[in-house]
Structure 1
Amino acid sequence: MAFSSGSGGGGPMAEINVTPLVDVMLVLLIIFMITAPLLTHKVEIKLPEANLDERPEEPGVPITLAIQDNGQIYWNDDPVNMVALESQLAVEAQKKPQPRVDIRADDTTKYRIIADVVKTAKNVGIAKVGFVATPER
């Protein structure tokens, strides 16, 4: 309880009682002193270093598969059906290094059609299949 010095009436006291503040700060200091050593990592890991002199081979031009909402598939802007797509992807899968396959689809294209194209690419051995989207503005 805060008491005023004998200089006046029973008005409110304008001094701040700092004792609870000091108590809370000391408790927080002790907690941080105990938990800080526990936050250090005990497991030592040797991370690889980057070497900019040697760069991996970049595969050639990526293959772009465009899929319209009606199910029509285009191989680099040339129309193709699923049988021809599978045979062309099988030929591309044999190349070293394999080209990347980028899939562009309309926003109203059924997911089943896109999933069939991705499944076909994976079944013939294409390792990298990606999706192309328009960036948000």
Structure 2
Amino acid sequence: MFDWDEKPELNITPLVDVMLVLLAVLMVISPNIVYEELINLPKGSAQTEVKEKKEIEIVITDSKRITVNKKPFEFATFSDNFALFSNQFSKESVVRISADHRLEYGDVMGVMSGVKHAGLTNISLATSN
């Protein structure tokens, strides 16, 4: 007959032994696993010379007088004249714009827009205390 009061006992010792063996195997093998990614790097050119980038400094006074590298420009025709002037510079040249704090935001952004339309994108705004 079947005894309903009897409770089964679970013997987990063999399970623990197997897991410890697997852990030991993984610990021995894991340092030897190497992942290799093949990368094709481009060939460099030995003939490429580093050219010094000329800096363009634009100063805008409170009376909307613009000077580019100490050369005066008219505010109304700045975009067209600067596009012609910028042809002598590389497109990677650094442009630094210093504007008087009393100018309106739109005036400074108009000058910056003219610089961008000339093809120069490396533009920084200088600040003073």
What TM-score do the two structures reach when normalised by structure 2?
A: 0.51
Q: Which residue does 2:59 correspond to in 1?
A: 66
Q: Please give the per-residue CA displacement for 1:9-65, whole angstroms capped at 9, x wherever unaligned.
A: xxxxxxxxxxxxxxxxxxxxxxxxxxxxxxxxxxxxx9xxxxxxx9853312x1111
Aligned residues: 88
Q: Which residue does 1:75 correspond to in 2?
A: 68
1:127 counterpart = 2:121 = yes
- C-alpha root-mean-square deviation of aligned residues, in Å? 3.3
- What's the offset of the Cα at 1:127? 1.8
Bigger Cα Rg: 2
Distance 2:127 2:49 in 1: 27
In structure 2, the gaps of 5 or more residues are 1-38, 40-47
Q: Spell out structure 1 runs of 4+ moving beyond 4 A.
A: none
Q: How does 1:1-137 map to 2 (within 5 A)?
A: 56-60=50-54, 62-82=55-75, 85-95=78-88, 97-98=90-91, 99-134=93-128
Distance 1:117 1:96 in 2: 17
Distance 1:118 1:96 in 2: 17
What TM-score do the two structures reach when normalised by structure 1?
A: 0.48
Q: Please give the per-residue CA displacement for 1:84-109, whole angstroms capped at 9, x wherever unaligned.
A: 53244323544563322110011111
Percent of residue pairs identical: 20
Q: Which amino acid aligns with 1:64?
A: E
In structure 1, the gaps of 5 or more residues are 1-45, 47-53
